[in-house]
Structure 1
Amino acid sequence: MDTLPPLIDQYSHGAVHGELGLGSFEAHLAAAVGAQGPAPAGTSHFDTRTGLALRRWCPPLLGLEPHCPPVRYLARRREIGAFRAGRKLLRGTGIGTFLVEAGAPGVLTSAPELAAAAQGRAHEVVRLEPLAEQVADTSGSVDSFLGYTAEALYSAAQHATAFASGAGYCEGRAPEAGEVRRAADRWLRGRRPGEPLGEPALVRHLLWSAVATGLPVQLHCADPQPLAAFLRATAGLGCDLVLLPRAPHHRRAAQLAAVHPHVYADTGPCPEETLGQAPFGKLLFSSGARGLPELYVTAARLFSRAMARVVGEWTAEGLCAAADGRRITELVGSGTARRVYRLAPAAQGFPGVF
């Protein structure tokens, strides 16, 4: 599968600035694998599938042999410096375009910073809930909050590639104006600066407002099933929706994507499961990386190898031709994302290193 176009990573958060010691590196690695607290005695968070993948594919990008001990790898990382290490890692991912969820300034690399480090392209995805929280910090009344939120959303739509929301539920209609005002009043009266948005009616209002802009909307949900009515109700409105569920709900997300023409789904960590649930042109790759540039490397390698295994088996069984397998991999890895997010075509192919 050589000369495939570079991957398009539809969802990530950027990488950390500065050097990382063993403790801070392990904390980021623990977060990536969903662990809380220290690893069991005598082990580390490198003793995970992600940790093994990191030790396999990241050391060669920094001039070390695969599977070298974590201590040696981190020493090499410090030796060449965080800036150079980050660039080498990001440029070795095979990802050409990143969709980066906007976050707190200075904590993680912004979309332009990530693009420069990776020698690729990056686009900003605006999360709806933090947008409303920032407005609420400076709003003195319900009227000003609702007015400024509408302005902020319109302004964001002029430069963002997509919106994103963490709504776990949304019914098949937009909340009425009175319901939105009452929810805003409750939230603003009891809210302290910086407090996250916790009014479901306001979250649904933001979601329907984002749909009205026509930009794609990412739905980050544990289980996509509670959004089924919303998916049905938004058909024909000119807005594509992309489901990014948590494991083990990727199969269900793919099934919903198959049912609704305007709905797409993240392929998840096991493409062999989702590829059988939806048309190939309804599935997209994402790394979900946050903090460590290594996580972009491991996600891209695991995805590409999993796709190669699946289409390789299909080709060997005679289910598809080699050209079909290549086209399926290209669709899921970059083609569908380019269409859904309205991205410019890739400038050149990427030699296969997977």
Structure 2
Amino acid sequence: MRISTNQAGNRGWEQEELGSCIAGLPFFDHHCHGVVKNSLNRDDFESLISESSSPATPGTTRFDSNIGFQIRRLCAPVLGLQSFAEPDEYLEARSSLPTDTVNRLLMQQAKLSRLGVETGHSPDIITSPEELGHLASARSYEIIRLERLAEDIAQKLAADKAGDSRRLQECFIGKVQGSLVEAKNYAIGVKSIAAYRVGLDLDPARPTLKELELAVTEFVRTGGVRLEDPVIIRFLLWQAIDLGLAIQLHVGYGDDDVDLHRCNPLLMTELFRRTIHTGARFMLLHCYPFHREAGYLADVFPHVYFDVGLAVNYTGAQASQVIAESLELAPFGKILFSTDAYGLPELYLVGAELFRQGLTKALWRFHTESAWPIEEAMRVARMIAVDNAVRAYGIEE
């Protein structure tokens, strides 16, 4: 959507009009996950609206949170209820419909045009990229999780009893390299959860063959169940770098498996310095509370991009402030949009709507306080909504 210079310059605009124009943009959710296919009871539903692996504290509910309030505000009307319907009323209306119908209604209300679907987290219980795209009436692309790729390969080698340490090393390296080369034919990028497994303060150097042989031997010997070896994770990252891939990195806020103090993206500064001319691109995901640090990195390194994905859902009514802060320092051509939605279609709708509202609020303030032309505000909105991701991932229209 384009607003002409004459249209933008010769009449007054209202914030609602700008919001309507931004809502009409074809948003590209560059990092998300599938939704569950089965019906959910209240405990299951509440577990999916929190990053904690524990149930709500006795006497409390996950609905009493910013994300819980936004689900009641934005999703209840889609199911035929009043905004802020009580949780029990909402869940009753939800369970009265087939799961596929609920998924389709809420996904399509999110009004997304493209989805970058990361497939490494519990793929057996959620929709595939193709299924998710069908539900949302959107084009879907796959994102490969590096750690899961390595775990799958190691588990197969352990089952096959591939031989001595040198043979294991050669098989593991060859299969990782082959899988990533093949992935370039069907996926738009890869993702690493190094922040969860080893922290972002990992050695930026490429691992030596001797380091790798020892690490691979031990990893396969223990069954390849959970990759927590920094040497192998460095190897995976450098393989993706050598192939010039788009590499998504979890940064900052996440579940209780993460050590947040080791998730500051500034810890990866030296890796970014070493990889400027490799053709690889780094997409820093979520970033809260380090979104200002991520904006700095996106400013100084040409191959670093970022979003505030997960933070938008969980900050709810405060999301507009986080979105505005993400616009402070970073070049507008380096900011991406994502929901990081997993399991619930509600998370797509809430994440998309809150982002549209927050972006509208920030750009309207730039218009009224700093005299930005409406046409320029819309140009920036479109960059963040879709154009930056299309360009960064090398997607041909």
Which of 97, 104, 118 aligns to 1:80? It is 97
Residue 27 of structure 1 pairs with residue 47 of structure 2: yes
Given that residues 18 and 82 in structure 1 are in contact (C-alpha distance below 8 angstroms), is that contact kept between their aligned partners in structure 2?
yes
1:277 aligns with 2:329: yes
1:166 to 1:76, Cα distance in 2 relative to 1, 3 A: same
SS, match of residue 206 in structure 1: helix
Match of 2:88, SS state, is helix
- Residue from 213, 234, 237 that aligns with 1:181: 213
d(CA) in 2 for partners of 1:36, 1:105: 21
The match for 1:7 is 27
Equivalent of 1:328 in 354, 369, 380: 380
Closer, same or farther in 2 for the Cα pair 1:130/1:83, shift >3 Å?
same
Q: CA deviation at 1:344?
A: 4.3
Letter in 2 for 1:37: P
What do the CA deviations read for 1:244-269 (whole angstroms, capped 9, x no partner)? Answer: 25421111011111000111111453
Q: 1:150 aligns with which of 150, 170, 177?
A: 177
Q: Within the alignment, does 1:134 sit opposite 2:134 as a pair?
A: no
Q: 1:201 corresponds to which residue?
A: 231
Q: Secondary structure at the match of 2:156?
A: coil
CA shift, 1:35, in A, is 6.9
Check whether the contact 2:111–2:136 (CA below 8 A) recurs between aligned residues: no
Give the deviation of 1:96 after TM superposition.
1.4
- Cα distance in structure 2, aligned partners of 1:22 and 1:172: 44
* Cα drift, residue 163 of structure 1: 0.7
Correspondent of 1:162 among 180, 185, 189: 189
Deviation of the 1:105 alpha carbon: 3.6
> Secondary structure of 2:293's partner?
helix
* Cα shift readout 1:43-92 (whole Å, capped 9, x = no counterpart): 31111111111111111212222111111111111122211011000000
Shift in Å, 1:209:
0.4
Partners of 1:46 and 1:81 in 2: CA distance: 22
Three-state SS of the structure 2 residue aligned to 1:122 is strand
Q: Which structure 2 residues correspond to residues 37-116 of structure 1 after superposition, within 5 A? A: 37-41=55-59, 43-103=60-120, 104-116=122-134
User: 1:262 aligned to 280, 292, 303, which one?
Assistant: 303
How many Å separate the matches in 1 of 2:71 and 2:308? 21
Do the aligned partners of 1:60 and 1:66 also contact (CA within 8 Å) in 2? yes
**1:349: which partner in 2?**
none
Q: Is 1:248 matched with 2:289?
A: yes
5+ residue gaps, structure 2, are 1-17, 163-167, 195-199, 252-262, 313-321
Query: 1:243 aligns to what SS in structure 2?
Result: strand
Q: Deviations over 1:174-214 (max 9, x none)?
A: 1122221222123223x135x11111111011101011222
- Alpha-carbon deviations, 1:94-132, whole Å to 9, x = none? 211111111344311110000001111111000111101
Mapped to 2, the partners of 1:340 and 1:6 lie a distance apart of 16
* Identical columns (%): 33
Q: Please say if residues 214 and 239 of structure 1, whose CA atoms lie closer than 8 Å, have aligned partners that are also in contact.
A: yes
TM-score by length of 1: 0.91
In structure 2, C-alpha distance between the alignment counterparts of 1:247 and 1:105, rounded to whole Å: 26
With structure 2 as the length reference, what TM-score do the two structures score? 0.82
1:226 aligned to 257, 262, 267, which one?
267
